Structure 1
Amino acid sequence: MKTTIYDVAKQAGVSIATVSKVISGKGKISKKRREQILKIMEELNYQPSMIASALVGKKTYTIGLLIPDISNPFFAEIARAIEDQAHQSGYSIIICSTDNKDERVERYISLLEQKSVDGIIIGTGVENIEILRRLETRSIPFVMISRESTALAVDTVVSDDYIGGILAAQHLAELGHRRFAILSENLKVSSSRERIRGFKQGLSDMNIPFDDKNIVICDYRVEEGRRCAYELLQYTEKPTAIFCCNDLLAIGAIQAAKQLGIKVPDALSIVGFDDTILASVTDPPLTTIAQPIDRMGKQAFNLLIDNLMNSESVKQRIVLRPELIIRQSTQHAKR
């Protein structure tokens, strides 16, 4: 038979209200008595009902996390950083993969509401701004990570994608490259737009022209990077350098070059973005723009907790600076 709060109260010789205060962390209870009750809860294997707590307006200590795809190493690492921070604070995370589709975002938000989560961290593209407006209307705290909304004042944590694009352009230009191409995710994703804008600005600052016809839009997967790079590398005036808006596309580009017998970096330099675990183990190891993934996850979680503690707090936009990590997928252009 499942242990109830009544069993815990009886065993501890206290009222149900006292046990409830221990669970919620509120009320004036001595440290000794609190520890005694917690020990009895452990001995009886008592698990407080999160849903029951929600029905009486208490926290459930659960948070929803919406990301495009848990199999994408960048978002897997973001999820782990958030989960680690949540664990230290006594929270659990419900992770939902949306494929950047609004209908899935709406369905998962509805599910998370039913689960009575305390708040939501959104790391997925949301095209329909009304989805976010409805969260505000329902007073569900949320924070965006690696994504932005220009239409709403929202707590946000991002890497400076624009600066990241500039760093990639400067590195390749300083290596003597002049024929460039870009592999990017859907331009509806704010991070991709900013990375491209930064890359073009970096070249412009060095008086190097760039033709927008060399921007190729793909899905974010390795196979898409491979397919698009394969086409690019068969141009008569093929690029000597490709900037990829994430590491998965960059790995796909390396694979396409190998299929065509083009050596990386001897005949083609490739720069990725994110610096996930894959960047250091691919062949050759990938030069990439490193996002501070761990810090981003922790900052997003802490912003959400601040929001839960004070719903009137001023919305913040935290921008963390990325850095260029040079490995073996780039070298000086051959004359």
Structure 2
Amino acid sequence: MKPTIYDVAKAAGVSIATVSKVINNTGRISEKTRKLVLNIMKEMNYQPSVVASALTGKSTYTIGLMIPDLANPFFSGLARSIEDHAHVLGYNIVICSTDYEPDKEAKYISLLLQKSVDGIILASGFENIDAVKELIKQKVPLAILAREIPSLEVDTVAIDDCLGGYQAASHLIGLGHKKIAIIARDLWSNRERMRGYRLALDEAGISYGKEVEYVRESNVESGKQLAEKLLRSEDPPTAIFACNDLLAVGAIQAARERGMSVPADLSIVGFDNTVWASAIDPPLTTVAQPIRDMGTQVMNLLVQEINGQKKYKQRIMLLPELVVRGSTAKHG
């Protein structure tokens, strides 16, 4: 038999009202009591009655999460971190993978609203700004994750992508590289990473890599194809900064097929610090995003918005961190 709110209250030695306040993240409750109730809910695998809530016109305890690509380990990791914290807060997550397609984005938004979700999280890669404006107009609780939309007042959790790009390029410059190419997709996050990359090159007086060709897909094959083209050019790079780990893996494959050694002949830096980074040979130097913290922060913001606990929208900017492994080495 599934546990009920009564079972949770009895096990915690508190009232049903207190459990309800913890689930809804409302009211004045000590941190000790809140943690006790949350832990018992987790141990008992307690789930709030979504159907009953929906029938009474109350919260369905369901959040819609829209991400561009579940096959990318960064997004699957992000979804997992959100789902884990949502469970602790008493919410369920409905995941929609949009494949970076505006039509799918609009379709899934409509579907989520029909399902009466309590709020929506839009993750990196979401470019349908008109749809975001419409959600804000309809006063749908909303949070943006892993990207920014500075022109709109909306709760946001992101990392400093520009700083991450700067860290990646600066690392390669510090190793003596002057011919540093970049592999990126024409997305907000990648454009910001490119901006940081160019800032580092400008500071070092390096003009190489100013002309950029974007990849069409953010996957291994696209990274491989563009890296092959770069390495066949008249003035090939000695280092490549790829704007995600999948593109970086593709660049490593391209180098190997040309008989090049990584990092002896070509240094490569990725971005995201996914499982690929430590699984590939050599292990990938990459810029880490704090995935667990991002998921926790965005869920907290959205639940506060759902419960009417916030007067103002918040922008939380987290810092990236360069993780140096075996894919980069000194040049010359």
- TM-score, length of structure 1 as denominator length: 0.84
Work out the CA distance in 2 between the residues paired with 1:47 and 1:318.
29
Work out the CA distance in 1 between the residues paired with 2:249 and 2:209.
23
Q: Provide the residue aligned with 2:311 in structure 1.
A: 313
Local SS of the residue matching 1:173:
helix
Q: Is the 8 A contact 1:203 1:209 kept in 2?
A: yes
Q: Provide the residue aligned with 2:287 in structure 1.
A: 289
Local SS of the residue matching 1:301:
helix
Q: Provide the residue aligned with 1:140 in structure 2.
A: 140
Shift of 1:57: 2.5
Shift of 1:206: 1.8
Unaligned runs of 5+ in 1: 10-19, 27-34, 36-41
Q: Provide the residue aligned with 1:168 in structure 2.
A: 168
1:57 alignment partner AA: G
1:198 to 186, 196, 199: 196
Coordinate RMSD, CA, aligned? 2.9
Work out the CA distance in 2 between the residues paired with 1:316 and 1:116.
24
Cα distance change, pair 214–138 in 1 and its aligned pair in 2 (3 A): closer
Q: How many residues align?
A: 306
1:190 alignment partner AA: W
Q: Is the 8 A contact 1:218 1:225 kept in 2?
A: no
Shift of 1:215: 4.3
1:271 alignment partner AA: V
Q: Provide the residue aligned with 2:92 in structure 1.
A: 92
Local SS of the residue matching 1:87:
helix
Q: Does 1:74 align with 2:81?
A: no
Cα distance change, pair 207–47 in 1 and its aligned pair in 2 (3 A): closer
2:217 to 211, 216, 219: 219
* Equivalence map 1:24-103=2 (5 Å): 50-103=50-103
Q: Is the 8 A contact 1:101 1:125 kept in 2?
A: no
Q: Is the 8 A contact 2:47 2:90 kept in 1?
A: no
Which deviates further from its counterpart, 120-129 or 292-301?
A: 120-129
Q: Is the 8 A contact 1:275 1:291 kept in 2?
A: yes
Q: Provide the residue aligned with 1:131 in structure 2.
A: 131
Work out the CA distance in 2 between the residues paired with 1:298 and 1:92.
14
Local SS of the residue matching 1:185:
coil
Q: Provide the residue aligned with 2:106 in structure 1.
A: 106
* Equivalence map 1:167-316=2 (5 Å): 167-186=167-186, 189-310=187-308, 313-316=311-314
1:299 alignment partner AA: Q
Q: Is the 8 A contact 2:163 2:320 kept in 1?
A: yes
2:274 alignment partner AA: T
State the structure with more CA Rg.
Answer: 1
- TM-score, length of structure 2 as denominator length: 0.84
1:220 alignment partner AA: S
Q: Provide the residue aligned with 1:15 in structure 2.
A: none
Cα distance change, pair 324–124 in 1 and its aligned pair in 2 (3 A): closer
Q: Is the 8 A contact 2:182 2:209 kept in 1?
A: no
Work out the CA distance in 1 between the residues paired with 2:59 and 2:111.
17
Q: Provide the residue aligned with 1:14 in structure 2.
A: none
Unaligned runs of 5+ in 2: 7-15, 25-36, 38-43
2:222 alignment partner AA: E
Shift of 1:54: 2.4
Q: Provide the residue aligned with 2:120 in structure 1.
A: 120
Work out the CA distance in 1 between the residues paired with 2:310 and 2:319.
28
Work out the CA distance in 1 between the residues paired with 2:89 and 2:49.
18
